[in-house]
Structures are given as structure tokens and as C-alpha cells.
Chains A and B, each alone.
Chain A
Amino acid sequence: MRPLLLAAFATTALSALPGFAATPAEVVKTYADIAEATYGDSLTTAQTLQAAVDALIAAPSDDTLKAARAVWILARVQYQQSEAYRFGNAIVDDWEGRVNSWPLDEGLIDYVAGDYGNAENDLAQLNVIATPKFTLSGTEIDATKITPELLSGTLQEADGIEANVATGYHAIEFLLWGQDLNGTGPGAGNRPFTDYVQGAGCTNGNCDRRADYLRVVTGLLVGDLTEITDDWSAAGAARAAVIQDPKAGVLAILTGMGSLSYGELAGQRMKLGLLLNDPEEEHDCFSDNTHNSYYNDGIGMRNVYLGSYTRVDGSVVTGASVSDLVASVDPKVDTQLKGELDATVAALGAIKIRAEAGMAYDQMLAAGNKEGEALIMGGVDALVTQTQSVQRAIATLGLQAVAFEGSDSLDNPNAVFQ
């Protein structure tokens, strides 16, 4: 549940002031336009990934594997920026698990090192690529053909365990990089291209099924991104949900920012990993691309607050912003929040710069790495600080008090069409 969405709306700030530079209706239109553009760019970069995956499967080599990895990293840029939409919008949050579930028990999918396991997950070592037939909760599963339905319907979250991740960016990441067996030392996953060589020369067995899996799972990602892009198009349900009730839509913008900043990024993804000194507690753990993912989360939150997104082709989608709304009521709150969003981008940028200079995110998590700890805590502290200001922006706009009846359009998006 996202409790903030249950909060409804005092009539004061948003409706009473005549001198607004922007109206909530204009603001949510910009928000929906940026969503459509961000997911649209995520889709086109995923289609590029799909072409590179096809090339890898058709002619496995160091070059085609490296090319596929490079476009996977590019495909993450806009997607991570879109994470600002996740927690404010039920349609996005319900869909998100298919494309970006993490952390995962990758032994479900393919071979892993011997000491790998998860006491609570019977499927953590299933290795479906090597196992055409198996029993799942008492049911015989025929996986001789690797199909979209097998991955998204049967294996994804099998047994009700979230770590059973069969689809999405991280499943593809695992198939391109393999396990990162370097712990908190230097180096990412190092899967050989020969894992995709058909016939003689195939390494680690079942190269045909591994190629099938990679092809199918990449196709699913493209399909899922097509769906969410459509959801934000002119006729889409996610757009309709925020347009229908602009004040609720404005609250969705701020809810998405606050929940991603605090519970998700600062807490689950960053501080917890540091407290555990666990190298698997990094978001892009096979590719060591975590620094870019978090940095783009920071960019994405700033995009939606400022109402401005720079597309892959360099064009800019921009319009009335929630920043304009807050500034018209209390410029101090707006100025402070803008400064804090910049500070977060800078703090996450410092992690990125250090990672690109040779200290990967998993190395920063090592016990006793004071420099790494300081870098990560710099990001955590900035995110926690901006959360408080997001909370104040909600109060400034009068979006949190009084009635608690919720928003039909956001809680139950299909109601918009009834």
C-alpha cells in the first residue's frame, strides 16, 4: 500500500490562489508527457539491445557479447530515470516487477558457483536452462521449450518468492555477464561468449537452451516496455489516471519521489548493503553498473520535479512543473528542494565518478573501506534530506491533511474507463 495516496486534498493551496504560474492540470500533463517519452526511450534502447542479443546468438564471439553488454548498459539509462514514476502510480508499480525485480536468486535461471544457495528458496538452484522437466509445488512442469509463458507465468515469482526472478533487465544482465564471483574485489561477471556457441565449443552445457532463454526474455522486456509506453500515451490508462484527478496526480509525482528516495534507494538499495558489507547487495550486481543506475534514479527524480526531460535524441520534453506550483505557494520550500535534488545528483555523481575511476560499487561495500562507505553514505544522506523536503512540498501544497478517502483514479485506474 502507498499510504500517501490515501491522503486526499485540502482545498486551500492548490485551488484558491489565482496567481499560479501553473495549474495542477498543466503539471500532470507535463508529467505524463515525460513518462511517455522516458518509457518510449527505454523501449527504443531495449529494441537496440534485442538486435544486439540476436547478433550474439547468431554469431557468438567476444565482440558480439561485448556489444550486447554495451547496449544493455545504455538501455538502463532512461529506464532508471523512469523509476521516479514507480511508487506514485499503481499501474507502474504493479508492472515494475516484470522488468526490474531485484535481488534475484540467479541459480533459478542458469548455472552458478557451488556454494550458492538460499535456505528459504527451494528453486534457488533449479537452473531451468539445464532442467527441461521439474516439479514446482507438486506440479510437473514441462520446460522442454522455453516460452514467454514459462518465464513470465510459471517461473517469475514462483512459489510466491520474490527472489525467483525469471524476467527483466537483471535476468538479461545475468545471461550476458554471469555471476560476479569477485566478492568485494575488483571485477564484474565474466561469462564467456562460448556459453552461446551451438554444438561443439559450447561451454557450461545447454547453449541452445541458454540462447533460447536470452532471446525470449529480451523479447518479453520489449513487450513489457511497449505496454507501459502505451499506458502513458494519449489513450493510456496511466495517463488518464493522473489527468482525471490532477491534484491526486501532483501528489503521485511527490509520492514517487519520496518513496524512491527514502525507503527504496537510501534504505533497501544503499544503506542495507553497507550494513551487510554484502557485494550482492548492489543493484546491477553482475555488470557492476550500479553507479549508473543510482545516478539515473537521481536524474529521474529531478526531471519530474522540474518538468524537464532530455530525450535520447537530444530533444527536450518540458512544461509546467510541480516546482512551479510549490514556488507559487512557498518559494523557500521550492528553492530548498531544488538545491537538495541537485545535491543528490552530485552525491550520486561522486559515486559514479569514483566507480568509473576504478572502484566499483561492490568494492565500496567492503568492510573497512572508509572511502567507499563515505561515498555511499553521502548519497544516502542526500536522499534522506530531500525526502524531508518532498514531505514539506506535499504539506505546502495542502495535499496531505483533512480527508482520507483517497483517489479513485489512482487507486483503481480502470475506474477511469467505467
Chain B
Amino acid sequence: MLRSLFLTLALASPAMADFPETVKNHILPGYASFASATKALADAAAQSCDPVTLQPGFNLAFDAWVAVQHVQFGPIAANGDALAIEFWPDPKGLGAKAQRGILMGDAAALTPEHFAEQSVAARGLIGLERLLYPAEPLPAEPCPLIRATAADLARMASEVQKAWLDGYADIVLTAGEPGNTTFLTQAEVRQALFTQLITGIEFLRDQRLGRPLGTFDKPRPERAEARASGRSLTNIRLSLQAMKAMAFSLTPDAPLTMAAFDRALTLSTKLNDPVLAGVVTPADRLKVEILQQSVTALHDTAVKELGPVLDVAVGFNAADGD
């Protein structure tokens, strides 16, 4: 299995851009980085529970996640791991509640086997953020939970990477070949990847930007993502970079989409507002709104330009519901 995967990858010429390049140049390296960053974090947590010591590794792991988060099909979808890795948004505050229960509860819940069965809201990067950047003193010694959460993240990252290397990448790369029942045609893979991209842009627009923006009358700065670690804007920028790279790996023939990515990236780089706190004052809010408008424009451009270039329409996705 592995051999045929590497053979297929080796045959893909670097000048080409199509779904094999997306797998080779984007998805597999993305999962590899995420696996190594989370392993480094888990190793560091095994040595020390000091938040200040762990924060740099936490941020590297979060960076690596955002670079591959928009890929929501395949192994990551099988066990709900995407939500267990980052449970956000959490409008009902389920994460803090569930985590407090574990923190105050039976230590048996912290063994790797049992921890994986805990509510996804309590686990993952946001769970770890609450322990490493506590807003108020924690009600119990967090060290065992920090270690369990970091180890659980590394386990999920490793399992997803392994599942791609041990079979799923082959399934994607052999789309349309006899015996492939997952992807009956290559177009089905292109559609799946295009859908990830558009859904990822919508998540950026509606959640990462839309939640803190709220309405003009009622801005919601407290709803920005990863505020405690000061990553709200960083995640927006990294996500744009990652999705641009993914689009480019699919086709070199989408100049308007590339320009739209660049415009949004430029605006996000110029924005000097790490947790989007400015949404409450008209002048600073306008800058965040302009960034959101640029993401809306990016979305519409990608649908109009990239869709026809890839000859696919946006497929059904997890955001179709409420």
C-alpha cells in the first residue's frame, strides 16, 4: 500500500497541479507537521506542567492544526476527531463545564483509554488553552489533566496521519480506478477538495470573523476564537495562508482566487488587533468588517472561478445544517 502511494506521488510532476499534488504537497505534510508538533507538546508536558514552559509548544501545535483544519473529510471525520481537536465555537459553554467535571472528578478518567471517551468539548486545544492560560485560579491541580489532554491530542494527530499513510491517501489517489468504491471518479475527489476549501472559507467568514463582530449594536469581542492565548487574528491569517496553498495545489489557473486570497491576507497582516477587541469601537470595527468583506469576496470568487476550472460544484458539507 505504502509503496504504491509513494510511487504515485513520485510520478506526479512538480509542475502539475491537481488533486494528487494537494495530497502530496498539502494534506500529508500538514498532518505530518501536526503530528510532530503535538508529539513535541505531549513530550514537553510529560517533563513539566509549567504553563509558561508549555505555551510555545502549545502555539506551535495550534499553528499546525490551523494549517490543516479545513481538511475535514477522510480519517479526521471518522471519529469526530476534528471537534475533539478543537471544540470551537462553543456557544453553550459546554467545554468549561465538562472540563471542570473532569478536573474535580475521578483520576481514572485521565488514562488514555478513558480520556478518549470524554466529551469532545472538554478535550483538545481549547481545553488545553483553558489550563495553560487560566482566566482565574483553577479549582484543582491541573497537571494530570494537562498531560492527559496533550497526550490525547498527540494520539489523535498520529492516528489521523497514520490512517492517511496506511490507506486513505491511496484511496484518494486511485479515484476512478476499478475497485475504488469511495471515489468513483476523479471528479468526485476534486469536488470533495473544493468543498473543503469553500467550507473552510465560510467558517473563517461566519465563525472566526462573524462571531466576534456580532452586530453593530451588539458586538461580541468575547466570542473571538482562542482569546486567552491571543491567537484570534493569528488563526485567521494562518488559515488564509493554508487555504491559499491548497487552492494553488489544485490548479495554477485561478488568478482571481489567488488575488482574492492575497487581498484578505494583506488586510489581516495590516490589522493590529490580535484578539479582535476593536470590534466594539466604530473605527477599529470597520477594519475587521473590511477584512470580513474581503473573505466574502474571496468566497464568491472561488465559487465562480475555481469551481468551473475544476469542473465541479460545491458538494454537501457539515455546515449545511443549522
Q: Which residues of A contact B (CB under 8 A)?
A: 1-4, 6-7, 87, 102, 118-120, 137, 159-160, 162-163, 258-259, 261-265, 267-269, 271-272, 274-278, 367-368, 387, 390-392, 395, 400-402, 404
Contact among B94, B314, B320 for A262, CB-based, below 8 A: B320
Q: Please measure, in the bound complex, the distance between the C-alpha atom of A400 and the C-alpha atom of B315, giving whole angstroms.
A: 9
Contact B316 A387 (CB under 8 A): yes
Given contacts A1-B202, A272-B80, A274-B80, 14 further A-B contacts (CB under 8 A): A2-B320, A7-B307, A119-B92, A160-B214, A163-B91, A262-B318, A262-B320, A268-B322, A272-B83, A275-B80, A275-B119, A276-B94, A391-B315, A401-B311
| Cβ-closest chain A residue relative to B96 | A119
| Cβ-closest chain A residue relative to B121 | A276
Given known contacts A367-B117, A367-B119, A387-B316, A120 and B93 CB-to-CB distance under 8 angstroms: yes
Asked if B223 is at the interface (CB within 8 A of a chain A CB), the reply is yes
The 7 closest A-B pairs by CB, nearest first: A263-B320, A264-B321, A3-B314, A7-B313, A263-B321, A259-B320, A268-B321
Contact among B188, B223, B314, B320 for A87, CB-based, below 8 A: B320
User: What secondary structure prevails in chain A residues at the interface with B?
Assistant: helix
Given known contacts A3-B303, A267-B321, A391 and B83 CB-to-CB distance under 8 angstroms: no
Asked if B11 is at the interface (CB within 8 A of a chain A CB), the reply is no
Number of A-B contacts (CB under 8 A): 105
Q: List 12 A-B contacts (CB under 8 A).
A: A2-B320, A6-B313, A120-B93, A159-B218, A262-B316, A263-B316, A263-B319, A268-B321, A275-B80, A275-B119, A395-B187, A401-B313
Q: Shortest CB–CB separation between residue B251 and chain A, in angstroms?
A: 16
| Cβ-closest chain A residue relative to B84 | A275
Contact B217 A137 (CB under 8 A): yes
Contact with A along B253-285 (1 / 0, CB 8 A): 000000000000000000000000000000000
Residues of A within 8 A of B223 (CB): 120
Contact A137 B218 (CB under 8 A): yes
Q: Shortest CB–CB separation between residue A96 and chain B, in angstroms?
A: 10
Contact among A159, A160, A264, A275 for B83, CB-based, below 8 A: A275
Q: Please measure, in the bound complex, the distance between the C-alpha atom of A1 and the C-alpha atom of B119, giving whole angstroms.
A: 30
Q: Shortest CB–CB separation between residue A160 and chain B, in angstroms?
A: 6
Q: Could you tell me which residues of chain B, from 230 to 247, have a CB within 8 Å of some CB in chain A?
A: none
Asked if B317 is at the interface (CB within 8 A of a chain A CB), the reply is yes
Q: Which residues of B contact A (CB under 8 A)?
A: 80, 83-84, 91-94, 96, 98, 117-121, 184, 187-188, 191, 198, 202, 214-215, 217-218, 223, 303-304, 307-308, 311-322
Given known contacts A7-B314, A118-B93, A160 and B218 CB-to-CB distance under 8 angstroms: yes
Residues of A within 8 A of B121 (CB): 276
Residues of A within 8 A of B317 (CB): 262-263
Contact among B91, B118, B308 for A402, CB-based, below 8 A: B308
Quick one: which of B84, B98, B313, B322 has the most chain A CB within 10 A? B313
Contact A264 B320 (CB under 8 A): yes
Contact A404 B80 (CB under 8 A): no
Contact among B93, B117, B198, B322 for A3, CB-based, below 8 A: B198
Contact among B94, B98, B191, B303 for A6, CB-based, below 8 A: B303
Contact A275 B120 (CB under 8 A): yes
Residues of B within 8 A of A367 (CB): 117-119
Residues of B within 8 A of A268 (CB): 321-322
Residues of A within 8 A of B322 (CB): 102, 162, 264, 268
Q: Please measure, in the bound complex, the distance between the C-alpha atom of A388 and the C-alpha atom of B180, giving whole angstroms.
A: 14
Contact among A4, A159, A160 for B314, CB-based, below 8 A: A4
Given known contacts A262-B316, A264-B321, A120 and B217 CB-to-CB distance under 8 angstroms: no
Given known contacts A387-B316, A401-B312, A401-B313, A276 and B120 CB-to-CB distance under 8 angstroms: yes
Q: Please measure, in the bound complex, the distance between the C-alpha atom of A36 and the C-alpha atom of B196, giving whole angstroms.
A: 36
Residues of A within 8 A of B320 (CB): 2, 87, 258-259, 262-264, 267
Q: Please measure, in the bound complex, the distance between the C-alpha atom of A320 and the C-alpha atom of B38, giving whole angstroms.
A: 55
Q: Please measure, in the bound complex, the distance between the C-alpha atom of A387 and the C-alpha atom of B191, giving whole angstroms.
A: 14
| Cβ-closest chain B residue relative to A262 | B316
| Cβ-closest chain B residue relative to A367 | B117
Contact A278 B312 (CB under 8 A): no
Residues of B within 8 A of A1 (CB): 202
| Cβ-closest chain A residue relative to B314 | A3
Contact among B120, B187, B191, B316 for A259, CB-based, below 8 A: B316
Q: Shortest CB–CB separation between residue A108 and chain B, in angstroms?
A: 14
| Cβ-closest chain A residue relative to B109 | A367
Q: Please measure, in the bound complex, the distance between the C-alpha atom of A1 and the C-alpha atom of B320, giving whole angstroms.
A: 8
Contact A400 B94 (CB under 8 A): no
Contact B321 A277 (CB under 8 A): no
Contact B308 A404 (CB under 8 A): yes
Q: Please measure, in the bound complex, the distance between the C-alpha atom of A87 and the C-alpha atom of B320, giving whole angstroms.
A: 8
Q: Please measure, in the bound complex, the distance between the C-alpha atom of A102 and the C-alpha atom of B322, giving whole angstroms.
A: 9
| Cβ-closest chain B residue relative to A87 | B320
Contact B93 A119 (CB under 8 A): yes
| Cβ-closest chain B residue relative to A105 | B92
Residues of B within 8 A of A162 (CB): 322
Q: Please measure, in the bound complex, the distance between the C-alpha atom of A155 and the C-alpha atom of B198, giving whole angstroms.
A: 34
Contact B91 A400 (CB under 8 A): no
Contact among A4, A271, A272, A392 for B313, CB-based, below 8 A: A4
Contact B311 A118 (CB under 8 A): no
Contact A392 B316 (CB under 8 A): no
Residues of B within 8 A of A3 (CB): 198, 303, 313-314
| Cβ-closest chain A residue relative to B311 | A401
